[in-house]
């Protein structure tokens, strides 16, 4: 049963779904990064039944495997001494990369989905973690012991900035498997991201506050000691702040065509995190939309994307 408040598509429902066992417990929500574009990611996770949900850059949510069944998303994994995390977790694949920022609309969709799952399974914020929290590697020629650090998948979801956007107020404080000696630290940088204050994407999500006027910088007119000379008032400069209403207006205001939306070229790929900014515009069939008003669910093949140089 899906949450009525969320718009979840069954378009990529996995053919593996009926053969998967029903979980007996759910104690974790695992956030992944696909490390690949949306189309190939959706096809892969659907074919192999590798997650329960997949969230794209445009904020679309796709159901892959029934949320109460096992999805093979965690691989070799351990959390607090328990291995095979697939047996007691929900896996969410998020289209994107572990070391790059995600669009706000995608993060908001992830936040909504996570909150709904937390409500369903009565899970605290500390139970929402990244794949890199649970993945571990077998001994090899570089690491003589089992070790944390097999992959950095989803590690951005451990940073304070991203968790704040996801409305997650707490996170795991330590790696209990490392502390208990079950695993060694195989990636010191990853450990700092997961359990320290390394917030490598903070600058991408800083909120710019409006500038506060400084009185001391204003020119104060001198006291009048004689009759003022007659002069005509200087008219204020006229600025063109009217939103463009046509492609001609866009060009006149300095906008340039950044590309056209295609199945393998999303708006986020063409202009990055600015795809939903007020100064990004979309045109199709002689209609024009700003990034603030465009509905990502209505993106069409052939829609043109415009931004200033």
DSSP 65-80: S-TTB----S-SBEET
Specify the pLDDT at position 224. 39
Closest CA to 195 of 171, 169, 168: 171
Residue 4's pLDDT band, with cuts at 50, 70 and 90, is: very low
Query: For tokens 């910088």, what's the residue?
Result: 217
Say which residue, 197 or 29, is predicted with more confidence. Answer: 29
Res 225 pLDDT > 60 = no
> What domains can be seen in the chain, in order of their start residue?
8-205 (3.40.80.10), 247-308 (no CATH)
Mean pLDDT along residues 21-39: 97
Q: Which two tokens stand for residue 222?
A: 């001198």
Mean pLDDT along residues 249-256: 85
* 123-146 confidence digits (pLDDT tens): 999 999 999 999 999 999 889 999
CB 44, CB 64: distance < 8 Å? no
Which of 102-106, 172-176, 217-221, 281-285 has the least mean pLDDT? Answer: 217-221
Say which residue, 256 or 241, is predicted with more confidence. Answer: 256
Specify the pLDDT at position 262. 86
Residue 296's pLDDT band, with cuts at 50, 70 and 90, is: low
| Calpha distance 134→64 (Å, rounded) | 21
CB 45, CB 14: distance < 8 Å? yes
Q: Is 268 helix (H, G, I), strand (E, B) or coil?
A: helix
Mean pLDDT along residues 274-289: 82
Q: Is 265 helix (H, G, I), strand (E, B) or coil?
A: strand
Res 240 pLDDT > 60 = no
Backbone angles phi, psi at 83, to 5 degrees: -90, 180
Res 52 pLDDT > 90 = yes
Res 299 pLDDT > 60 = yes
Give Cα separations from 87 to 23, 56, 81, 127, 256 (angstroms). Answer: 6, 25, 14, 15, 50
Average pLDDT along the chain: 86
């Amino acid at each position: 049963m899906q949450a009525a408040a969320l718009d979840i598509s069954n378009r990529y429902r996995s053919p593996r779904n009926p053969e998967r066992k029903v979980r007996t417990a759910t104690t974790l929500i695992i956030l992944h990064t696909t490390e690949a574009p949306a189309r190939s990611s959706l096809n892969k996770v659907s074919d192999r039944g590798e997650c329960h949900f997949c969230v794209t850059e445009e904020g679309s949510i796709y159901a892959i495997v029934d949320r109460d069944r096992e999805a093979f998303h965690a691989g070799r994994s351990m959390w607090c001494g328990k291995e095979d995390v697939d047996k007691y977790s929900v896996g969410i694949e998020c289209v994107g990369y572990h070391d790059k920022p995600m669009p706000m609309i995608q993060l908001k969709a992830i936040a909504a989905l996570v909150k709904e799952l937390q409500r369903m399974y009565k899970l605290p914020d500390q139970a929402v973690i990244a794949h890199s929290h649970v993945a571990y590697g077998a001994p090899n020629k570089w690491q003589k012991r089992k070790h944390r650090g097999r992959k950095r998948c989803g590690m951005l979801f451990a940073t304070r900035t991203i968790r704040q956007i996801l409305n997650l107020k707490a996170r795991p404080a330590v790696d209990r498997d490392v502390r208990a000696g079950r695993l060694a630290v195989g990636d010191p940088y990853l450990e700092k991201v997961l359990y320290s204050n390394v917030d490598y994407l903070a600058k991408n999500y800083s909120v710019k506050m409006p500038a506060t006027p400084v009185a001391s910088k204003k020119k104060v007119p001198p006291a009048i000691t004689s009759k003022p000379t007659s002069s005509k008032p200087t008219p204020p400069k006229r600025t063109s702040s009217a939103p463009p209403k046509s492609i001609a207006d866009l060009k006149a205001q300095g906008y340039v065509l950044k590309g056209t939306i295609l199945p393998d070229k999303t708006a986020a790929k063409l202009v990055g995190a600015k795809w939903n900014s007020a100064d990004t515009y979309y045109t199709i069939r002689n209609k024009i939309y700003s990034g603030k008003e465009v509905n990502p669910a209505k993106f069409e093949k052939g829609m043109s994307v415009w931004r200033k140089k």
